[in-house]
Structure 1
């Protein structure tokens, strides 16, 4: 037990131990229904991955929710660094620089192993995973949004909409026929102007939204 605790809270495993505790706590919340597996996923106004989603996509891990990818990365990194720390602790040396050097090597191996194992698992199971993508501009047509930053009219308008992944994004909107929508009002997106890259909206009664019932 002493060896386990020494390795878990020693360098480099100590870098991952707090993360592992957070991960375990997060999945407990998911199991009891207090958290969502896609809570860290985000997209930009064009429907492309943003933030952590974009980073993981570039690393080849974009086919699974961010929380799943991070969980796998942290768990593998913790396990590899734990095993590496136990092995290096058996080496008879009292040289502190040597211990730090060995720890740095173990850390590097743990990071590489975490990415390799996680990407391998994602690639191996991607045929069974549904295609994950953010809301495209065309898919936003027919959805409702909230007018933000002043009034929306034929020349200016900014609205907020929540994507299927739960991310709130800001989109440019315009009205037609001289209609003016006040800030905070609900609007219906009925078209997308590809030439000027904005959405056309009109007033909408929130009571008519089936998602509110």
Structure 2
């Protein structure tokens, strides 16, 4: 246990340990409904790429597309990258670094371990992300408008004008949608709500508590 703690809070794992604490805190906020994990993402405009307009897509987004990390909320991608790279780096630091004599070789080896772990984490994250993409499929406006008037179940801890998520059952399958509601309201996780309107410009639905 002592060697694990030493590895987790010493170079190079300490860098990722700090980032992992931030990730844990973020998902705790998401769990209680204080943040919407899908609002922070990088939109990749493939039409702009086809038109050859490089100014319409960021360099970061192009790298994400090339590495196969697109199709899910960016917060999930970052969380997986940090978690996997932290696990790999901490394991290598605990078992390999103590075998190296001297301080300088340890620093060089630690840097190499960190870079290799990040590279391997990208590959593993891309493999994990691939089957998750179907959970975040965007539906066109016709399909969206068709569920107006139906009931849905709230998934987040609360629903405000800024964020909220709900689940709608359609033809035996469930659709995860973004919702909002005027506050104050009684909507919370597990509550039943009625879909009132679809906003095509924001891709969100206005909901209200069931009578």
Q: What band does the TM-score fall into relative to the shorter chain?
A: 0.5 to 0.7
Separation (CA, whole Å) in 1 of partners of 2:22 and 2:82: 10
Whether the aligned pair in 2 keeps the contact of 1:19 and 1:74 (CA below 8 Å) is yes
- 5+ unaligned residues in a row in structure 1: which ranges? 136-163, 167-209
- Deviation per CA, 1:34-84, whole angstroms, max 9, x where unpaired? 011123224489897658655423431111100000000000000000001
Match of 1:21 in 2: 21
Alignment of 1:88 onto 2:96 = yes
Moved over 3 A (4+): 42-55, 132-135, 210-213
Structure in which a larger fraction of residues adopt helix:
2
Question: 1:3: how far off?
Answer: 1.2
Out of 44, 68, 79, the residue aligned to residue 71 of structure 1 is 79
Out of 116, 119, 128, the residue aligned to residue 109 of structure 1 is 116
Out of 27, 38, 59, the residue aligned to residue 67 of structure 2 is 59
Question: How many residues are paired up?
Answer: 145
In structure 2, do the counterparts of structure 1 residues 44 and 96 end up closer, same or farther at CA, with 3 Å as the change threshold?
A: closer
Question: 1:26: how far off?
Answer: 0.5
Separation (CA, whole Å) in 1 of partners of 2:111 and 2:30: 34
Separation (CA, whole Å) in 1 of partners of 2:96 and 2:109: 7
- 5+ unaligned residues in a row in structure 2: which ranges? 49-55, 142-176, 180-204
Structure 1-normalised TM-score?
0.55
